[in-house]
Amino acid sequence: MGRLTTLTEWLSWQESLHGQEIDLGLTRIQSVYLKLFPKGVPFTTITVAGTNGKGSTIAFIESIYQQTHYSVAKFTSPHILNYNERFVINALQATDSQICTAFEQIEQVRGNTSLTYFEFSTLAALLIFAEQEVDIAILEIGLGGRLDSVNVVDTDIAVITNIAIDHVDYLGDTRELIGYEKAGIMRANTPCICGDLNSPLSLHEYAKKIGAELEFISEPYTGALTLKGMHQQYNAALAHLCIKKLNQKFPIKEKLVSQGLKKAQLAGRFQTKNINDKQFIFDVAHNEAAVEALAKELTKNNQPTLAVFSALKDKNISLMIKAISPIIGQWLIAPLTVARATDINDLVDQFSLTETVSAFDNVNLAMDNALKQRSYQRIVVFGSFHVVADALKSFK
């Protein structure tokens, strides 16, 4: 490789370095992590796994700490509009220069170890947060838990939002198998809190086996929130419990907790924008359980609704469609511009003959068409982070 100077150069080089986009396992990252952090990371970590609700739960925890003098960072994925969104310190995204410096540090010690794109970003996050001397870092598990690169860190508190069927090619096709993968982020004698109201046995068994302190929330948070939906009340309750678990180390007044929960916002989670005379709702719901939650929220205000939709090929697309179909009058679908995209013909085949479907070459064209539709004032854009990203870019 020649000298890489820009973030774009670094990212395109990383994409070609390791043959597989998703290659679970901790062996590669562990060898590099130990060179960079022989004594472990110098901040308190909260690791968050789960099928849905990770981003929102992290946003709640982050927002609470933002009401205090503690310095808080979060590492999340994927990004919606730009890569820097993955690394946020005290509400500010990391700069290109901070990220490139971290990549250079990784490159200096990597040797012959081949790292994936995600492994690079995980290590970069830890380096940036250490350099910024944060008090608390909230780390989002990318996929599963046990073998996800974020699990290289021995966490101070593990958070599992919920367990539903998703990523079956990597995690298994039952909640018990998926629960076992998520449980892998637990540590002995360390709190693990869970927001799943009907948790699989595998979680309990794993906690017992390793001696983790497993605890569940049972009630939703009842205070005011900006993020909409009953599922967000449960995510808020989980964030609240997480803060309590760290209260000895980072005490916070209850008033600041409710202030933080109320202020929390997150792009792509029932995010609304009014354009011309239309209301657009952007939601990254990308599996059946998330789409059900979205449908529930839309039903609260029944009106003719148009969908701009696409999904990745490793998803159970027909179940996603079925979960929301009764409230969608017309579907505008388009292929995504990523390797895991579903072919447009395969996408069309997922719909029943009773559904009205129009196919477009890209999300941009579908959005143009949505704006021209006279019979629909409400347009919901969902199915993947990539759909929301492409749709938001089309407004630029």
Count of residues in the chain: 396
CA distance 7 to 110: 18
Q: How many helices (H) and strands (E) does the chain have?
A: 15, 14
Q: Give me the tens of pLDDT residue by residue for the chain, a chain 396 residues long.
A: 668 889 999 999 998 887 777 787 899 999 999 999 999 999 999 999 998 999 999 999 999 999 999 999 999 999 999 999 999 999 999 999 999 999 999 999 999 999 999 999 999 999 999 999 999 999 999 988 899 999 999 999 999 999 876 655 666 668 899 999 999 999 999 999 999 988 999 999 999 999 999 999 989 999 999 999 899 999 999 999 999 999 999 999 999 999 999 999 999 999 999 998 899 999 999 999 999 999 999 999 989 999 999 999 888 999 999 999 999 999 999 999 888 889 999 999 999 988 999 999 999 999 999 999 999 999 999 999 999 999 999 886
CB 128 within 8 A of CB 99: yes
pTM reported for the whole predicted model: 0.92
CB 117 within 8 A of CB 14: yes
Question: What domains, with CATH codes, occur in the chain?
Answer: 7-263 (3.40.1190.10), 271-395 (3.90.190.20)
CA distance 49 to 194: 9
What is the spatial order of strands in the sheet that 136-140 belongs to?
92-93, 87-89, 72-75, 136-140, 44-49, 157-160, 191-194, 213-216
